[in-house]
Amino acid sequence: MLKEVIQNALNAQLTREMYSSNLYLAMSGYFQSINLKGFAHWMRAQAQEETNHALKFFDYLLDRGGVVKVSSIDAPPSQWDSPLAAMEDALKHEQYVTQNINALADLAIKEGDHATQIFLQWFVTEQIEEEATVNEIVEKLKMIGDWKGGLLMIDNELGKRIISSGDAEAQ
């Protein structure tokens, strides 16, 4: 049986993952509106991945006999000043998620909840990849500056992101 303090923290993270999904969906809409379809595709895939993260918490809570409490989710922004500004926000958001995952892992250790510690390991590893991937895009955008050709090259590259149904489950 889950301790209430762990259950509440897992539910809070489920809500954060759903916020992440909405944030990236909003970014997908922004990119689409400025005709960067590759960025829009990448963000749409990212939104789907975040919903899958939320579902991992959902399933885990139920597997442990806990109660799922779906909370209201704050509305994300809908506009950004530039592709770089949007990707920098995405990076800041992932850093925030990493802090929360680490705090959750600390709590599981403090409460002696070994199963939750093991469950969270996947997220600890995932956050390394999430931050690295977004950081790489931010750095490339900084590198190209105002060069439109470079922006279209990155857009083309991001448009190739593949999401298979298998990935969707694994992510």
CB atoms near residue 163 (< 10 Å): 16
Closest distance to ligand FEO from the beta carbon of 170 (Å): 13
159 touches 41 (CB < 8 A) = yes
Closest distance to ligand FEO from the beta carbon of 9 (Å): 15
**Tokens at residue 144, please?**
């190209």
Closest distance to ligand FEO from the beta carbon of 45 (Å): 12
113 vs 130, which CB is nearer to ligand FEO? 130
Residues that bind ligand FEO (CB under 6 A): 17, 20, 50, 53, 94, 97, 130
Sign of the CA dihedral 42, 157, 137, 84? Answer: negative
Closest distance to ligand FEO from the beta carbon of 48 (Å): 11
41 vs 53, which CB is nearer to ligand FEO? 53
Closest distance to ligand FEO from the beta carbon of 69 (Å): 18
What is the rounded distance in angstroms from the CA atom of residue 101 to the CA atom of residue 96? Answer: 9
Give the CB-nearest residue to ligand FEO. 53
24 vs 80, which CB is nearer to ligand FEO? 24
17 vs 88, which CB is nearer to ligand FEO? 17
Alpha helices in the chain (DSSP H): 4-33, 37-63, 83-110, 114-144, 148-158, 165-170
CB contact set of 60 (below 8 Å; sequence gap of 6+): 10, 116, 119
92 vs 110, which CB is nearer to ligand FEO? 92
